Structure 1
Amino acid sequence: MSPVAGDVDADVLVVGGGPVGLAAAIEARLAGLSVVVLEPRAGPVDKACGEGLMPGTLAALTRLGVDPTGHALAGIAYVGGRRRVEHAFSGGVGRGVRRTVLHAALARRAAALGVVAVSRRATDVRQDASGVVVDGLRARHVLACDGLHSPVRRMLGLEAGARRSGGPDRRRYGLRRHYRVAPWGDLVEVHWAPHAEAYVTPVGPGLVGVAVLGPARTDLDATLSVLPALAERLTGAEPDGPVRGAGPLRQRTTARTAGRVLLVGDASGYVDALTGEGLRVGLAQAAAAVAHLHDPAGYERAWNRATRDYRVLTSGLVAAATSPARGGIVPLAATLPGVFGAVVERLAR
């Protein structure tokens, strides 16, 4: 590998070519910087995610010049047994977008702006006062957007140990599968099973995604079997692709910066997918990272501002969902629809 010296291959090297990595690359190009994206996988990459874009997320994508096709989303519904509470977004509609469709739209925009893609995996990171070398490619700055289990985060020693006690394992995981069935509404439905939540997101004229969040060894089909209303909707519907999984979802970091390397998106730390804010927060981090390339302390402050509400709301809801109070979440939301609506509006921004 070449030493850390000499001319650069790009102003910014983005490690990870998923949606947040591509958004970070687009942000950098819009700021007039040269960009290389390091990603070993070819083509749109599928993974387990909820696929519901809130109105604020759509606005952020529009600012980047990205407008993926999908299914309009008018709001969110919580369903538990015979109880159901709904809230329609007051500031516009969201959109259910299959992850591969979103990935492809971001990739087209990045390519049109002149982002260079290199098919390579990051295995080594070295830096000095004026640049960073990642597997032979030198840049003035590196944005690590390489996901939940970020290799760059690990190589830089920025991972925080999991908070584990002698009690039960409260780590949570995500599963997702698509079904070929016509959407039966324009809401993201969150069905609360005794042990897990099932997120139903229409993503196209004949396609619905079902994502399940729960503890280790959660099974998607077993979860549907205790949600008869949802299972009935899916009766006879053919799966479109395999069950995909991700986790454990909770990831903690000691810092979001190390010299000229900034962690962005899931690589920078993650709470849970329960509130569906991952992409919105990731896009905000990407914008903040590009704005603070020369100011790591400023990025830390911006990262805290961009993620504060997400961390507080999601941590609180996950704490309730993994406690004896779980069974009261939907009844409480139905009893206090104004509070439920206020939370939804905050997530929709």
Structure 2
Amino acid sequence: MTAYDADVLVVGGGPVGLVAAIEARLAGYTALVVEPRSGAIDKACGEGLMPRAVTALHRLGVDPAGRDLAGIAYVRDDLRAEHRFAGPPGRGVRRTVLHAALADRADALGVERVTGRVLQVTQDEDGVVAGGVHARWLLACDGLHSTVRRLTGLEARPPRAVPAAVSRVLARSGPRTARRFGVRRHYRVAPWTDLVEVHWGRRTEAYVTPVAPDLVGVALLGAAPVDVDAELAAVPALADRLAGAAVDAADRGAGPLRQRTRARTAGRVRLVGDASGYVDALTGEGLRLGFAQARAAVAHLDDAAGYERAWRTETRDYRLLTSALVAAATSPLRGALVPAAVRLPPVFAGAVERLAR
């Protein structure tokens, strides 16, 4: 009989990895998480949990402290479109607070966590070995730049080179081909709203999320380089709110945000969360999707095709809506997005509710 160190090996100990391990334990499997970093893991993200993500955490017995989020607002100059969620609120949660709450729950359920780095993955029809651990299945939750994705050959081939003449035309029409990145900064200031405000600047979007009684996070998305001070100065309404507020900790960056995969499964390996492919952070759904994928991966450990179908179902709306938004945001249509949301409130509300639920 084959001896396993665990039923499920989770590579990556961030929130999605911990959720995957918790899901495995709740399903009756043993779970082991391999992560090179220790302590509460921080990273660049908007820190706003959509209502469905909060519901998913509650189902797992996790209730992190934070600020209720009542909805989403799009803001540009003196234009403002906002929609308040029809159901329960979302929540703004400092990333380190979320990680600590998930780690406590994982520990309580008997999830083993070890410090290590995966440099090689080998597998056969019975199991997989990575990071010195022999398991029945491997869930790769190791983020945008997933090592497991690369090692298992699941990264999509880079797009074919664009002919020089076409490239020059695209360059004249705007930054649509530029890779997008994110930078997050925290300010010590009392939140002035219970909404996530998305301030649309000339070349970046600034996501403002209340995460504590005296702390807001500002995540800027756009083409590199993202100069936080310069971009905020170009959004006077937001700059005035933050004037004089102390910056809390160092800025954190992430990207490029666009990541493509040719498949989400390879033998006994499943890609979960950002590792499985990512479009952009424009809709703020990364964790909601990651949690849903973790649940689906555990439910389809012995059914690769079933996980592929579940992955596509869970991500379909996100991929379609986010791709359309990114295309508009990186084109001459960018300036029309907020005015359109103001003029068509039912459309804006419908999009927000679809993503929230």
**What is the TM-score normalised by the length of structure 2?**
0.95
- Distance in structure 2 (CA, Å) of the matches to 1:75 and 1:130: 46
SS of the counterpart of 1:174? strand
Partner of 1:85: 81
Letter paired with 1:309: D
- Partner of 1:234 in structure 2? 242
Do 2:188 and 2:216's aligned partners in 1 also have CA atoms closer than 8 Å? yes
Match of 1:291 among 293, 296, 299: 299
Q: What's the offset of the Cα at 1:171? A: 1.0
1:174, 1:248 → 2: CA distance? 8
Do structure 1's residue 59 and structure 2's residue 67 form an aligned pair?
A: no
Correspondent of 1:101 among 81, 89, 97: 97
Partner of 1:172: 180
CA distance in 2, matches of 1:175, 1:162: 24
* Offset from partner CA, 1:44-85 (integer Å, 9 cap, x none): 111100001111110011011110000111111000111001
Unpaired runs of 5+ residues, structure 1, are none
CA distance in 1, matches of 2:186, 2:126: 46
Q: Residue 221 of structure 1: CA displacement?
A: 1.0
Deviations 1:100-135 (A, max 9, x none): 000110000000000000100011100011000003
Map of 1:197 onto structure 2: 205
Q: Does 1:273 align with 2:269?
A: no
Query: How do 1:114-125 and structure 2 match up within 5 A?
Result: 114-125=110-121
Partners of 2:189 and 2:216 within 8 A in 1: yes
What is the CA-CA distance between 1:136 and the residue it aligns to? 1.9
Cα distance in 2 for partners of 1:256, 1:70 equals: 32
Could you tell me which residue of structure 2 aligns to residue 42 of structure 1? 38
The answer to whether residue 218 in structure 2 is matched with residue 210 in structure 1 is: yes
Residue of structure 2 in register with 1:306 after alignment? 314
- How many angstroms apart in 1 are the aligned matches of 2:198 and 2:37? 32
Alignment pair present for 1:186 and 2:208: no
Secondary structure of 2:139's partner?
A: strand
**What is the deviation of 1:219?**
1.1
| Local SS of the residue matching 1:111 | helix
Whole-Å separation in 1 of the counterparts to 2:213 and 2:131: 43
Matched with 1:328 is 336
Secondary structure of the residue aligned to 1:25 is helix
Separation (CA, whole Å) in 1 of partners of 2:10 and 2:329: 35
In 2, distance between residues paired with 1:136 and 1:344?
A: 44
Instruction: Determine the C-alpha separation between the residues in 2 that align with 1:152 and 1:347.
Output: 29
Cα distance, 1:216 vs. partner? 1.3
Matched, 1:253 2:261: yes
**1:214-225 → structure 2 map (5 Å cutoff):** 214-225=222-233
Q: What is the deviation of 1:162?
A: 3.5
- Say if 2:34 and 2:131, in contact at 8 Å, map to a contact too: no
Amino acid paired to 1:74: A
Which residue number corresponds to residue 243 of structure 1?
Answer: 251
After TM superposition, give the deviation of residue 161 of structure 1 in Å: 2.9
Secondary structure, counterpart of 1:185 in structure 2:
coil
Equivalent residue, structure 2, for 1:21: 17
SS of 1:251's partner is coil
Consecutive unaligned residues of structure 2, counting only runs of 5 or more, are: 172-176
Partner of 1:131: 127
Q: In the alignment, which of 322, 325, 328 is matched to residue 317 of structure 1?
A: 325
| Identity within the alignment, % | 69
Q: TM-score, normalised by structure 1?
A: 0.97
For 2:158 and 2:346, the matched residues in 1 are separated by 35
Name the SS for the 1:126 alignment partner.
Answer: strand
- Aligned equivalents of 2:158, 2:66: Cα separation in 1: 37
Distance 1:269 1:53 in 2: 19
Tell me the distance in 2 between the aligned counterparts of 1:311 and 1:171. Answer: 17
Whole-Å separation in 2 of the counterparts to 1:328 and 1:135: 49
State the partner residue of 1:111. 107
Amino acid at match of 2:306: G
Report deviation, 1:267.
0.3
Report the number of matched residues: 345
User: Cα deviation per residue 1:212-245 (whole Å; 9 max; x = unaligned)?
Assistant: 0000112111110100000000001000011100
2-structure distance, mates of 1:27, 1:196: 36
Partner secondary structure for residue 290 of structure 2: helix
Deviations 1:158-200 (A, max 9, x none): 1113436334442100000000000001000000001010000
Q: Give the Å deviation of 1:6.
A: 3.7
Q: 2 CA distance for matches of 1:319 and 1:30?
A: 40
